[in-house]
Structure 1
């Protein structure tokens, strides 16, 4: 038995809803960052015609200025690429006091973009990846010049723009699995090159910038394209229908995971007890994980938290989980329980390297006691494992605060 919940709408959902209603919106997207920028590429903020704001690009440093620029773009329809940097001379000037630099592309999204938005929305509903490739910069001076095929020789260089570069700005190409691309960047060869590279970024789950010549040449420059990757969210599977599981499910959803709670006991495993979980499954834990692995619904981004406290459940489950390259496998229990588990798992044939991947007892040492405090400890360990963090206080470390993705 499986029960599912609906997610809270995000910036994309709001843009889609507004365009379906015939309303244009201004969309501001972080397309590049340097140093200690507060948000990664792909962070977005939407400004609607009624002044409503959804999302954020910097956590408050530049939003006021960006709001006014977005209102202007909403009126003029002309996209803008804006750079925000350190504000040294005037503490109240627009800038990033964190020391970072970021480029933000602001564009108007009209109801005419609805076919592409519909395709992305359908892919997201089906838990399939999708990508939107947008031209955020086009520079005629940056297009390489081929002396052997110059206009003076009677030919048109394939590297030179055949149209006003400004006409490329804001063009989009929408890519969804198994379907033909929607839209165009203004050149068939550029579409082909961008599609191939964007699908590579999408497979890695990353948004990012691509640069080409005007006809898709991978040498030189001319156009800058930003790929917004709508990758399927990583999964968090929480085994054990206990109060700690409810807290871990809440913080997992907050971190952006698609959360499943699984337990073999139907009386405890209900959607009412776990409202933050995307799905609640009544099944023996190791059988459920085996089914998900066989179906390809578990990958190297998947996080597994075993909170069952019962060797009948957790030993066969951990034996299976540790044999696969999951992002994180943690198990709750005392140190004595941990030692007993390791003995049983070793007898089941797991190697020392596989056993070393087990985070047990689960979580970082924060001194917490309550389910919520324990969930913070577990989440902190998962984040540290994902980004290579130390778990130490930032005040005790040197160097950049934000690690490269």
Structure 2
């Protein structure tokens, strides 16, 4: 999400009278690759780019091809195959052993239907998962649609542009399957006239939202790291107790009395880190009423167990389901000592939980790092 924000910011500062631009999007990955589907790079005709589609090894070639697409005002689909021992193939020698398809789409700056403008509209809306359909393979046109066009899926009616109930039902079913898995990938459909259209179905969830309940000095390194990653950070504390440095790195500061006004969802993590037993005990039941998928409690296990016991004695039972959301002590076991290392431990665990991973060393993993078809 941080990369997408940077792309949009750069796009907003373009002068259409002086600069041409294109967006490069990874739409297919087979095998191993540094970046996954949905990775993007904004390319300008002066050789400047923002974002990335690889670890830096393909960007130079993509820049050249994007400038060619701009000159022709036509999108193109480029395949980088690092599995073949071909000296003329860009990417040979990387050792990635994968195939990557990149769609290069020239942009009409200011056109509300260009891909970056559509992404901007998604970012401007309230937190939700967006579904985008990009035509990456189509000969000529179909119902006014061409290769490179991006559509927002907002329900069955948004598929009416395809003009055929059977085709629309197939696309709808595929969207549901991809959405349930949270996976973005291409899919080929047969049009009523017999031609094939390949769509990149992209699942774009909102940024991770971290709610930090506390104002002590260890909130600052955690908030700084959140900003560096590109997540959203909200601090719940008395504004008068907040250090000035913290105000500059978080998105929002909310007084405790207004906690209920904070929007939470399954992409939200909340950390109880007031360093005050009574405060954390008071906040835990409130936090459990939210939709946050992850709840962390700073401090040793005996402290959290004492909070659970006292709440139980007061008639506030924590269900098994809620216990699964609570991570106490918070963070991964990496031997963290300093506030900065503890922040790293906490954010690593949140990322692992949201990715449904164990947080174990990758060298111990017996299957590919990223799920494959």
The TM-score bracket by the shorter chain reads: 0.7 to 0.9
Answer yes or no: is 1:383 the counterpart of 2:365. no
Q: Is this contact kept in 1: 2:223–2:246, CA < 8 A?
A: no
C-alpha change, 1:124 and 1:390, in structure 2 (3 Å) is closer
Q: Counterpart in 1 of 2:335? A: 367
C-alpha change, 1:32 and 1:22, in structure 2 (3 Å) is same
* Alpha-carbon distance in structure 1 between the residues aligned to 2:195 and 2:292: 39
Q: Is this contact kept in 2: 1:123–1:176, CA < 8 A?
A: no
* Alpha-carbon distance in structure 2 between the residues aligned to 1:390 and 1:367: 17
C-alpha change, 1:305 and 1:33, in structure 2 (3 Å) is same
Aligned to 2:241, the other structure's residue is in SS state coil
1:95-106 matches, within 5 Å, as: 95=91, 96-106=94-104
Answer yes or no: is 1:277 the counterpart of 2:253. no
Q: Counterpart in 1 of 2:323? A: 355
* Alpha-carbon distance in structure 2 between the residues aligned to 1:111 and 1:302: 34
C-alpha change, 1:208 and 1:274, in structure 2 (3 Å) is farther
Shift of 1:362: 1.0
Q: Counterpart in 2 of 1:328? A: 294
Q: Counterpart in 2 of 1:40? A: 36
Q: Counterpart in 2 of 1:143? A: none
1:179-194 matches, within 5 Å, as: 187-189=162-164
Shift of 1:374: 0.8
Q: Is this contact kept in 1: 2:264–2:291, CA < 8 A?
A: no
C-alpha change, 1:231 and 1:383, in structure 2 (3 Å) is closer
Aligned to 2:218, the other structure's residue is in SS state helix
- Of residues 283, 295, 298, the one that matches 1:317 is 283
Shift of 1:48: 0.2
Shift of 1:109: 0.9
Aligned to 1:354, the other structure's residue is in SS state helix
Shift of 1:21: 6.0
C-alpha change, 1:78 and 1:7, in structure 2 (3 Å) is closer
Q: Is this contact kept in 2: 1:131–1:198, CA < 8 A?
A: no
Q: Counterpart in 2 of 1:253? A: 227
Q: Is this contact kept in 1: 2:25–2:102, CA < 8 A?
A: yes
Aligned to 1:377, the other structure's residue is in SS state helix
Higher alpha-carbon deviation: 97-106 or 299-308: 97-106
Q: Counterpart in 2 of 1:214? A: 191
Shift of 1:43: 0.5
* Equivalenced residues, count: 363
* Alpha-carbon distance in structure 2 between the residues aligned to 1:304 and 1:133: 32
User: What TM-score, normalized to structure 2?
Assistant: 0.82
Q: Is this contact kept in 1: 2:113–2:150, CA < 8 A?
A: no
* Alpha-carbon distance in structure 1 between the residues aligned to 2:109 and 2:232: 30
Answer yes or no: is 1:268 the counterpart of 2:245. no
Aligned to 2:54, the other structure's residue is in SS state coil
C-alpha change, 1:13 and 1:134, in structure 2 (3 Å) is farther
Answer yes or no: is 1:170 the counterpart of 2:143. no
Rg larger for: 1
Shift of 1:325: 4.9
Could you tell me which runs of 5 or more consecutive residues in structure 2 were left unpaired when the two chains were aligned: none
* Alpha-carbon distance in structure 1 between the residues aligned to 2:195 and 2:350: 39
Q: Counterpart in 2 of 1:148? A: none
Give CA-to-partner distance per residue, 1:306-340, whole Å, 9 cap, x none: 11122332123222333555321111012332231
Give CA-to-partner distance per residue, 1:126-158, whole Å, 9 cap, x none: 435555432110259xxxxxxxxxxxxxxxxxx
Q: Counterpart in 1 of 2:307? A: 341
Q: Counterpart in 2 of 1:72? A: 68
Root mean square deviation, CA, Å: 3.7
Q: Is this contact kept in 2: 1:131–1:174, CA < 8 A?
A: yes
C-alpha change, 1:118 and 1:57, in structure 2 (3 Å) is closer
Aligned to 2:27, the other structure's residue is in SS state strand
Q: Is this contact kept in 1: 2:83–2:99, CA < 8 A?
A: no
C-alpha change, 1:389 and 1:121, in structure 2 (3 Å) is closer
Q: RCO (CA 8 Å, sep 6+): is it higher in 1 or 2? A: 1
User: What TM-score, normalized to structure 1?
Assistant: 0.76
Q: Is this contact kept in 1: 2:352–2:358, CA < 8 A?
A: yes
* Alpha-carbon distance in structure 2 between the residues aligned to 1:321 and 1:213: 48
C-alpha change, 1:395 and 1:174, in structure 2 (3 Å) is closer
* Alpha-carbon distance in structure 1 between the residues aligned to 2:119 and 2:83: 37
Q: Counterpart in 1 of 2:261? A: 291
